[in-house]
Amino acid sequence: MIIPVRCFTCGRPLGHLHSPFKRRVLAGEHPAQVLDSLGVKRYCCRRTLMAHVDWIDDVLLYERRS
């Protein structure tokens, strides 16, 4: 799985927040409340965590093998 290690805009480290964010949202908490409790205040960082889609499994289907 490839997760965003840093915010693409401001460069703040976010990699350590991806697991707790994903676990808590899947458990039913509202994403905005989870981000607030994790201390993610900037909208660019919030966007990076909320909009991340794990595409690596789909991309690997088209891996070129020689």
Task: For residue 35, give the nearest of 21, 23, 48 by alpha carbon.
Answer: 21
In the block, tokens 């093998």 appear at 65
pLDDT digits (tens), the chain, 66 positions: 678 899 999 999 999 999 999 999 999 999 999 999 999 999 999 999 998 887 888 888 888 876
Three-class DSSP category at 6? strand
3-state class of 13 per DSSP? strand
Each domain of the chain, given as residue ranges in start order, spans 1-65
pLDDT for the residue 66: 67
On whether the CB atoms of residues 39 and 60 are closer than 8 A, the answer is no
pLDDT at 55 (0 to 100)? 82
Say whether domain 1-65 belongs to CATH 3.20.20.60: no
Q: How far apart are CA 16 and CA 62, in angstroms?
A: 29
